[in-house]
Amino acid sequence: MAVVAENVRRVLSEVPDYVEVVAAAKARAAEDVLQAVDAGIRVIGENYIRDTRVAQSLVGQRAQWHFIGRLREHDVRLATLDLFDLIQSVSSMSLAQRIDEKCGAVGRRMPVLVEVNSGREPQKAGVLPEAAEDLVRQIASLDNVQVLGLMTMGPLGPSPSLYRPCFANTRQLFSHIETLSIPRVAMRHLSMGTSDTYRVAIEEGANMVRIGSGLFGPR
């Protein structure tokens, strides 16, 4: 676990202060998540509900908790939503409506990011870039969900030339939506980049990056 702490300190020293590092803890041991928080991580990104509950039993509210995986409508329950401070992977109005319904029952407003499929990859979730503005506007009509920005994965590949344009285009989309001043939309977070791509993502405007193996080591 000492390796986790060393990795966290290295990454935090490399990224600018305005960039939030989300520790992507997919299937990692709760003890490793705690080590990351002890070393300075402030946001944990989880893909699985069961893992989140186990990790929270150790970490508690010392960190914020973001859901960063694919969230299916039938998995949206109050017990699930109560675990998270923000959901980064909303890519349809039907999913947003489901979140709105459940949050409305307890008087809560859930912050979300709209996931953009910037690489137009059929195997990945996310709204296509040209449909993102419309989705943001639709979600803005809901009382219990608030859009706080965009998230994208970008295609993985051996060269930044494959994913840099996707990050650049998502940044342009983010900036465009920001200029629209849509009521009840606050474009605060541009979540782009993973362990292999976060440096390029920051160069292209990300202020939030999701790092897994770069912090926790290889699986």
Domain ranges of the chain: 2-216
CATH topology of domain 2-216: TIM Barrel (3.20.20)
141 vs 4, 145, 175, 214, CA distance in Å?
42, 9, 21, 38
CA distance 46 to 39: 18
In which residue are the tokens 């998995």 written? 75
pLDDT at 1: 55
Each residue's pLDDT tens digit, 144-160: 999 999 999 988 888 88
**Cβ contact 118:154 at 8 Å:** yes
Amino acid found at 82: D
pLDDT at 78: 81
Q: Which residues of the chain have pLDDT under 50?
A: none
pTM to 2 decimal places: 0.95
pLDDT at 83: 95
List phi, psi (to 5°) of 194: -125, -165
